Amino acid sequence: MSTSGTTDFNLNSRTIIDEALRLIGVLQDGASPTDARANEALNALNMMLKTWGASERLWLMTEGTVTLVANQAAYSLGTGVRRVLSVRRRIANLDTPLQMVSRQEYYDLPTKTSSNTGLPNTCYFDPQRATKTLYVWMVPDAATAAAYTLPYTYTRVIEDIDSLDNDTDLPPEWLEVLVYNLATRLGPRYGGIDTVEYREIRERAKELMALLPTLDQEETSIFLSPRYQ
């Protein structure tokens, strides 16, 4: 018998929630949860994804580009940016990395305004709740802004699940992990945490989660070197 030739299997959020509720014995086969119960589970699923989004994942790494503006030091990156990992200065497809500094190091710079312009070589990413801002130093002058761009690598925020019919913003390898970990979060709401079945579900959830880090590791060499001041 031949294989299907397809690799697009997925579950939407409604099905993930149904599977989790069946695991903890709240939902019978063939039944559907009430709207209230489904919405409670959807909130739990969204909160779980927000927590998971705090960890670095290769599949969340994304590329963006800042268009420089003369005499401008601050650039809004949008709320979908969680953390900036690296920034490069590019001209004619030639990239030069910028040094990323801490908040304190940036604010300790003596001059951060248009009175001190030139090629940006340093940057600071400020991830506030409502705004995500990249600050560059030196501040670009008109000639620099016209010739250079700043490509950057960032980890993006996992998308919200606004509807039960939405797919989750995760790779398919996470589907079973989602079901079991959602079940462990929903179990205490229905008084099942002292059962053998719930403990088995919780252990399985931990086992599945432990398998995933290998999917987010690059198979490259790592070189460490001291930083001299």
* Contact between 78 and 66 (Cβ < 8 Å): no
| Cis amide linkage into residue 138, ω under 30° from 0 | yes
User: Is the model's pLDDT at 60 over the cut of 80?
Assistant: yes
Residue 121 has pLDDT above 90, yes or no: yes
pLDDT tens column, 148-169:
999 999 999 999 999 999 999 9
Q: Strands 122-127, 132-137: parallel, antiparallel or unpaired by DSSP? A: antiparallel
Q: pLDDT-derived band of residue 113, with 50, 70 and 90 as boundaries?
A: confident
pLDDT value of position 146:
96
Contacts of 182 (CB under 8 A, 6+ apart): 16, 17, 20, 41, 44, 45, 48
Report yes or no: 125 and 137 within 8 Å, Cβ to Cβ.
no
Please compute the mean of the pLDDT values over residues 101-107 and round it to a whole number.
Answer: 95
pLDDT of residue 94: 96
pLDDT reported for residue 218 = 65
Tell me the mean pLDDT in the region 8-30: 94
| Cβ(134)–Cβ(74) below 8 Å | yes
CB 102 within 8 A of CB 164: no
The span from the CA of 72 to the CA of 133, in Å, is 12
Of the candidates 79, 74, 144, 61, the residue with the CA atom closest to the CA atom of residue 106: 74
pLDDT tens, 168-219?
Answer: 999 999 999 999 999 999 999 887 777 888 999 999 999 999 988 766 666 6
Mean pLDDT score of the chain, rounded to an integer? 91
pLDDT over 70 for what percent of the chain? Answer: 93
CA–CA separation, 168 and 133 (whole Å):
27
pLDDT band at 23; cut points 50, 70, 90: very high
The set of residues, in sequence order, having a beta carbon less than 8 Å from that of 94 and lying 6+ positions away, is none
Residues in the chain, total: 229
CA 146, CA 67: separation in Å to the nearest integer? 9
Q: What is the pTM of this model?
A: 0.86
- C-alpha 149/C-alpha 135 separation (Å) is 14
Q: Is 148:90 a contact under the CB 8 Å cutoff?
A: yes
For residue 223, pLDDT beyond 90: no
Rg for the chain, CA atoms, rounded: 23
Q: What is the pLDDT of residue 50?
A: 94
